[in-house]
Amino acid sequence: MSQKKRKPKPKRSGNPGHKRPTAPAAPATELTFDRIGKPEIDRILREQLGITLTAALERSSVPSVQAFVDELEHEDDAVLAVQSLEAELGIEAGADELPELDLEQDVRLLRADIEQQVQISEVDKRLLTICREAMVFLERRAVRAEKELESAVRKTEQAENQAARHERRAEERVSEAQELRGKLEAAEAENAELRERLAKARAKGERLEHELEDVEDAPAGDAADQDVIADLRKRLKQREELLIEAHAEHERLEMSLDVARNEVIRLHRESEGTTEEGVAAEEELPEVETVLEAVEEAMRRCKHLVFTERALETAEDSPFWRPDMVLADLIKLDQVAEAYERPEGIGQPVGQFAQDLGLDWRSGVGEVWYGIHPNDYHFSQDGHTLRVAEHVRVANGSGAQRCARIYCAFHPGGDGPDDLARGVYVGPVGRKLPDSTTG
């Protein structure tokens, strides 16, 4: 027979004569390998599809990759079969010309070549399957990414709209707070004017009482004297009625001021993003039955306030009906004490810091009351005498059951071994100390 040109056969594996690996088995995986190892499979996938074995498993499926591996090993078997037949027929490896073969030999060689081409085709099919599944995977991932991007855009737009609404609301709250502060200042001015009028009316009433006593002590006179006495009594009664009205107006203004201050605090919290839900989320305080229980509970909770014996004594004597309010204000006052202990200081007036926490803060006591009521406005701690300078107005109702105060002293501390430490010392708690409003 005539000689024919020998066509080179593609060899994907690079070394068709693979032998079973004798090295230790690879770590357990879902794929199983026979003669062709994992690195070789990874190299072939890189050359044919441009992806690694790990990426193929991620983007395609384990069965598809396993089928590719199996068909690649079948192709390797077909290549070995062709090489074995060529060696048997005396065909040199890589020769371009075939020697003279009889018909049977030619048919055998042709069948081996066809089997090899079939296996190559099967491998190509498996590669095509992996490629299609990887494309579907990437398309789905692209669709998911697009949906996620659309969702992110929508959320961004919603967040921007919400931020714009919050900004508008904050501007409205600031405007309302400014307006309310103006009303508060006007109410405080009106209250001060009323206090002055009340003091004048009280002084005039006392003067009229003295005049009436002088007249009553005098001997009975004529009808003219009786008319003077009646006129004085009438004027005194009018003054008493004015005093009662003034007291009522004073109470009304105090209540209005309380409402206005609470509203300012609420608006301040809203402008800073503090909601009622955020306030309610704070630690729930236990129920207390008396002011003394409130002080004792605060002593267990507060890490910075210093409670004196005077605080316990006055708390035990207080009949205030809402001891829970006392406990809540003591917890807030502990935050003031913590800030006061900082070496760098609070950074703003103590009163402003306390009001921002929601405390109804009062600063300063008239010097005259330290002399008139020294025992009330002074208290001691470890042999040191402290005097009341600031206090918290817990409630401002009428009578000891509906009125309560927390008095304290801010001590700067000293360098001596016997000096008190810097801190906030709690003095009288409960009843309001005597002043111009208590008589």
Q: What angle do CA 422, 303, 294 make, to 5 degrees?
A: 115
**Per-chain mean pLDDT for the chain:** 78
Please tell me the least confidently modeled range out of 185-189, 225-229, 364-368: 364-368
Distance CA 380, CA 389 (A): 14
**Section 213-232 average pLDDT:** 65
pLDDT at 437 over 80: no
The 10s digit of each residue's pLDDT in 118-154 is: 888 888 888 888 888 888 888 888 888 888 998 888 8
pLDDT at 271 over 70: no
What are the φ/ψ torsions at residue 54 (nearest 5 degrees)?
A: -60, -45
Report residue 32's pLDDT band, with 50, 70 and 90 as the boundaries: confident
pLDDT at 280 over 60: no
Distance CA 184, CA 6 (A): 107
Q: Is the dihedral of CA 52, 54, 59, 62 positive or negative?
A: positive
**Section 369-377 average pLDDT:** 80
Helix (H) or strand (E) holding 120: helix 103-217
- The pTM for the full model equals 0.42
Distance CA 156, CA 396 (A): 48
Q: What angle do CA 297, 300, 304 make, to 5 degrees?
A: 115
pLDDT at 50 over 70: yes
Confidence (pLDDT) at 68: 80
State percent of the chain over pLDDT 70.
74
Confidence (pLDDT) at 256: 64
**Section 353-379 average pLDDT:** 83
pLDDT at 423 over 90: yes
Cα of first residue to Cα of last residue in the chain, in angstroms, is 140
